[in-house]
Amino acid sequence: MSIEALVSARLNVLLQAAGLEPVGAATADQFGMYVSLILRWNAKVNLTAVRDEEGIIERHIIESIVLARDLPARIATLLDFGSGAGLPGIPIALCRPEIAVTLAESQGKKAAFLREAMRVLRLTAKVHAGRVELLGQQFDCVAMRAVDRMAEAVRTAVPLVAPGGWLALMTTEGELEALKCAAGAHFVWREPAPLPGSERRLVALGARTA
């Protein structure tokens, strides 16, 4: 059985084991292609420190699916800030096709991977291969996961969140308060949602009030 087929079959088993709804067969197949692509590119480009398909599904894919499902309705545009391997932006694009996703990645090799992922998965998400400050637009949601110097990145991200929009942070319990402080006073935060398989990792959603 191919890696794509193994991942497609395994994903829904792990989702159901975590008490989560499975994804449709076509979406599971796309996730299979996505994980296979990560594994191939990881041999030459350091996309993620997790290098086996089971770990990628459990740590990256399922966590990103949780965020995709937790995002409020009526989000039309989303920026994946520091996208890297396309996490969480590509799973959001797969699970929430009504959202126009922009994947921002300043490292050239990782941006090249994202473009190839768009081609293979036949997604319409945009790839911005540069600094987010140069985008010149605001988004209904800015999502961030495992970004270097996260607090500094949050301060950079705040002006990119449209008034009434959302900041979505995939972080840890110990880091959350510092990230909220970095975001500033103009955000009202939902109760954080724990991520499957972890007592510390969580999703925090803050609504911008001004």
pLDDT tens digit sequence for 125-147: 999 998 898 898 999 999 999 88
Residue 135: Cβ-neighbour burial (10 angstroms; 0-12, 13-18, 19+) = middle
The sign of the torsion formed by the CA atoms of 193, 87, 46, 42 equals positive
Per-residue confidence (pLDDT) for residue 34, from 0 to 100: 96
**What confidence category does residue 38 fall into, taking pLDDT thresholds of 50, 70 and 90?**
very high
pLDDT tens digit sequence for 91-115: 999 999 999 999 999 999 999 999 9
pLDDT tens digit sequence for 3-32: 788 888 899 999 999 899 999 999 999 999
Residue written as token pair 């510390």: 200
Domains and CATH numbers, the chain: 3-208 (3.40.50.150)
**Mean pLDDT within 62-84:** 96
What tokens were used for 204? 């925090």
**Mean pLDDT within 37-51:** 85
Q: Which of 92, 133, 105, 134 shows the shortest CA–CA distance to 41?
A: 105
pLDDT tens digit sequence for 159-189: 999 999 999 999 999 999 999 999 999 999 9
For the chain, the average pLDDT equals 93
